[in-house]
Chains A and B, each alone.
Chain A
Amino acid sequence: MEESPLHPFELHNIVPISLGGLDISINKAVLIMWVVVALVAALMVMAGSARRLVPGKLQSLAEMLVDFIRGIILDTMGEGGMKFFPLIATLFLFILFCNLIGLIPGSYTVTSQIIVTAVFATVVYGLSLVMGFVLHGAKFLGILVPPGTPGWLLPLMVPIELISQLARPISLAVRLFANMTAGHVILGVLFGLAISGGLLIGWLPFAFTIAMNGLEVGIAFIQAYIFTVLTCVYLGDAFHLHGHDEHAH
């Protein structure tokens, strides 16, 4: 049977719901998202319920995660960025678990849908804009002028900076989506080869799928990390407005 490697990304409604013309049906992606939310919540609540001085296994895992996210925020935004800890920790854990759960055969990779990553990116970028204008007022438009720009270069620099600002949410969304989709397409193609190759040669692509799966676990972590770091950087840019140059060495 011929099957497209993009077949696993198709979504079919499980429970069709329509609300005032809006299609809010429940499909596999929605189910997996609920599972991810439940998993993250259960992990954190169970890990946090013991609160022993000498942490158990679960508690040290949670402490490691929290400390890791705290490190990212302190590195990119400084002490003031800790206000955003709940948002950034939620984003990181949600994306990480979505990426990881997608690697379980038969499951679904929610982050391989560009609408999901686009919503994350829009929320993050929208927040950075709103925060920038609230904190700095009209001076926030100065983000379009890099420090040390001579006046005669302004007509060139402002459009360039404007474009690179507007490209931020797009590259944020596309990066996560493309990485997850590409990885799963490769896995799908290799599995297809393994099946159509039969026993004689099929073991070779099958061995590659095992290696790729290991690589995909790494990518799941790296992409969640990159998304989180860039979120911090964008929020930090709006927070400090050129102030980050001091410790950028």
Chain B
Amino acid sequence: MGTELLAALIVGGGLGWAVDTYLLGSTPWGLVFGLVFGAVAGVRSAYRAAQRWQDSSGNSRR
């Protein structure tokens, strides 16, 4: 479940950085917002993963 957090943060930061560097040249705002969105997305998908484990097994599993 921790990997969900990490992966979303990497993707968010990466996208933000790419927007900065290749599209808009708006350093560092793309990276900043990318990381924030990444963190939100990570928490959201970790939350959904937790929900999934509870749904699929009745009692919570890892």
Contacts and interface: CB of A to CB of B under 8 A. Distances in A.
A249 B56 CA distance: 10
Contacts of A114: none
B41 A174 contact: no
A64 B23 CA distance: 53
B6 interface: yes
Interface residues of B, number: 20
Interface of A is mostly: helix
A171 B56 contact: no
A76 B57 CA distance: 11
Given A160-B44, A178-B3, A222-B62, A167 B52 contact: no
Interface in A112-149: none
Nearest to B34: A163
A229 interface: yes
A174 to B, nearest CB: 5
B12 A175 contact: no
Given A174-B3, A174-B6, A174-B7, A164 B45 contact: yes
Nearest to A232: B56
Given A161-B41, A163-B12, A164-B41, A171 B3 contact: yes
Contacts of A67: none
Nearest to B37: A159
Contacts of B3: 171, 174-175, 178
Contact of A76 (B6, B7, B56): B56
Contacts of B8: 163-164, 167, 171
A247 B57 CA distance: 13
Contacts of A229: 56
B56 A163 contact: no
A168 B7 CA distance: 8
Nearest to A160: B41
B32 interface: no
A249 B41 CA distance: 23
Nearest to B53: A229
Contacts of A215: none
Nearest to B48: A164
14 contacts: A160-B41, A160-B44, A163-B38, A164-B41, A164-B44, A166-B11, A167-B11, A167-B45, A168-B45, A171-B3, A174-B3, A175-B3, A222-B62, A229-B56
Interface of B: 3-4, 6-8, 10-12, 15, 37-38, 40-42, 44-45, 52, 55-56, 62
Given A159-B37, A163-B8, A171-B3, 5 more contacts: A160-B41, A164-B44, A167-B10, A174-B6, A249-B55
